[in-house]
Amino acid sequence: ESSALIPARAVPLADSLGLRLAEEIRADRPYPAFRRAMMDGYAVRLADAGRTVQIVGEVAAGSANARDVAPGTCLEIMTGSACPPSAEAVVQKEHARRRGHQVTLPQHIPCGSHIAPVGSECLDGKSVLQPGELVTSLAVAVMASFGITSVRARPRPSLAVITTGTELVPPAELPAPNQIRDSNGPMLCALARRMGLDAPLCLHVNDRPGAILQALELAAGCDIVLLAGGVSVGKYDLVPGALRDYGAEVVFHKVHQKPGKPLLFARRGCQLLFGLPGNPLACHLGFSRYVAAAIRRLAGDEPIASAQWGRLTSPVGYFGGRTFYCLARATQVGEGWDVLPLAGVSSADIYACWTANCYLTVPADARQLAASAPVAFDWIAGIPG
């Protein structure tokens, strides 16, 4: 529903790139607002075609009150300059022969050549950009030319990342024999930044219900909260209970897929909360397949089109009974795609697949996909590359 979108607000033009417009943008005057020279050359009268005329001055871009073009004379003019009212054409420098302060014009000069008439690019009041359109770098240029310094747009969602696990230490620390470095936090932040979000609020908590609840309260102002780890059914999988204490409604818990079966989704008011498995590959898939879709929805972006199809370059065997999403590398070959599966030695092996740019889909009832078989794949977080 449209109510699920993040409310629009005034955003400085410099910060609007990649956002969706929430207002119509109209031209504040005709463009160009004056008869603009489109070439470096000479502003001339048509009657002087084929004649040698006197250069009586010049018109630089931005100069005002240029002298008139009298018969038998011309003005040297630069690209972007305002043409004098009596100038009927601009002759390119390359098409004229100059000697000192005189220039010989070509025999034929088309009327209005190399002069952009007033309003020829955009009429005064013309609707140029519509609500819902994506602000590109060229759209920023358009709005800047209209004198716009702030625009109503739909901001990207704000995100919080909460990693859980007493066994985790920050990447900069040396782990004890019973500890590991946190890779999920930096990975989720990188995925969020890849989608154009601001730097997320990043928190880490040990496996204590009160600590998880406290972190959720700190993230209460964020549109989306990601909790990594603690969502399965073990003794220290405390996220579901903490979410209930937080006042969130669990919409679903567990999905029929591999990796990432324990995935959890909850809501509290307009806030969306995802419980992602601590397994790094499952955590990555949860973001790419579910969180990325929620980010696009809140920002007003169009849903990603259906999966692409490619050709497997090596076989994939699977006997799990759940839909299997395998990290892969898709490479364009001619009009199609070659898809190389990057399965590691275990369900948590991130080292064998760091070059992946997509997920290929192995149906739940498949036993093996042979090399050269057609295969569906989706880009990581919906973004090619």
Interval 85-118: pLDDT, tens: 999 999 999 999 999 999 999 999 999 999 999 9
From residue 98, give the alpha-carbon distance in Å to each of 46, 49, 63, 116: 18, 14, 23, 25
* Amino acid 45: pLDDT: 98
Q: Is the pTM of this model over 0.75?
A: yes
pLDDT at 65: 67
Average pLDDT of the chain to the nearest whole number? 94
pLDDT of residue 144: 98
Tell whether the model's pLDDT for residue 221 goes beyond 80: yes
Give, for 201, the enclosing helix (H) or strand (E): strand 201-205
Burial-class residue 33 by CB neighbours within 10 Å (0-12, 13-18, 19+).
middle
Q: Which of 16, 24, 27, 28 is nearest to 130 (CA)?
A: 24
Q: How many residues does the chain have?
A: 385
Q: How confident is the model at residue 21 (pLDDT cuts 50, 70, 90)?
A: very high
Residue 320 has pLDDT above 80, yes or no: no
Q: In angstroms, rounded to a whole number, what is the distance separating the alpha carbons of residues 16 and 222?
A: 20
| 2 pLDDT tier (thresholds 50, 70, 90) | very low
pLDDT of residue 304: 84
At residue 1, does pLDDT exceed 60? no
- SS3 of residue 305 by DSSP: coil
Cα dihedral sign for 344, 350, 353, 356? Answer: positive
Q: Is the peptide bond before 177 cis (omega within 30 degrees of 0)?
A: no
Euclidean distance between CA atoms 322 and 255, whole angstroms? 9
User: How many whole angstroms from its chain centre is CA 219?
Assistant: 25
- Two tokens, residue 257: 């897929």
β pairing state of 374-379 and 358-362: antiparallel
| Chain segment 75-84, per-residue pLDDT in tens | 999 999 999 9
- Give residue 149's pLDDT: 98
Decide which of 219 and 65 is more confident: 219
Quote the CA–CA distance of 97 and 70 in Å, as a whole number: 20
Q: How far apart are CA 375 and CA 336, in angstroms?
A: 12
Q: In which band, very low, low, confident or very high, does the pLDDT at 383 lie, cut at 50, 70 and 90? A: confident
Query: Is cis: bond before 259, omega within 30 of 0?
Result: yes
DSSP 125-178: T-EEE-TT-B--HHHHHHHHHTT-SEEEEEPPPPEEEEEE-TTEE-TTSPPPTT
Residue 207 has pLDDT above 60, yes or no: yes
Cα 55 to the chain's mean position, in Å?
A: 51
Query: CA dist 324 to 88, 207, 290, 321, Å?
Result: 70, 29, 15, 9
Rounding to the nearest 10 degrees, give the CA dihedral for residues 163, 165, 171, 176: 180
SS3 341: strand
Of 55, 129, 40, 141, nearest to 93 by C-alpha is: 40
Distance CA 115, CA 217 (A): 63
Looking up tokens 């409604």 gives 249
**Mean of the pLDDT values across residues 327-348?**
90
In this structure, what DSSP letter does residue 282 have?
H
What is the pLDDT averaged over residues 179-183?
95
Q: Encoding tokens for residue 79?
A: 């690209």
Nearest to 376 by CA among 320, 285, 290, 306: 306
CA triplet 252, 296, 364: central angle to 5 degrees?
45
CA angle 254, 249, 273 (to 5 degrees): 70
Q: Does position 60 have pLDDT exceeding 70, yes or no?
A: yes
Residue 281 has pLDDT above 60, yes or no: yes
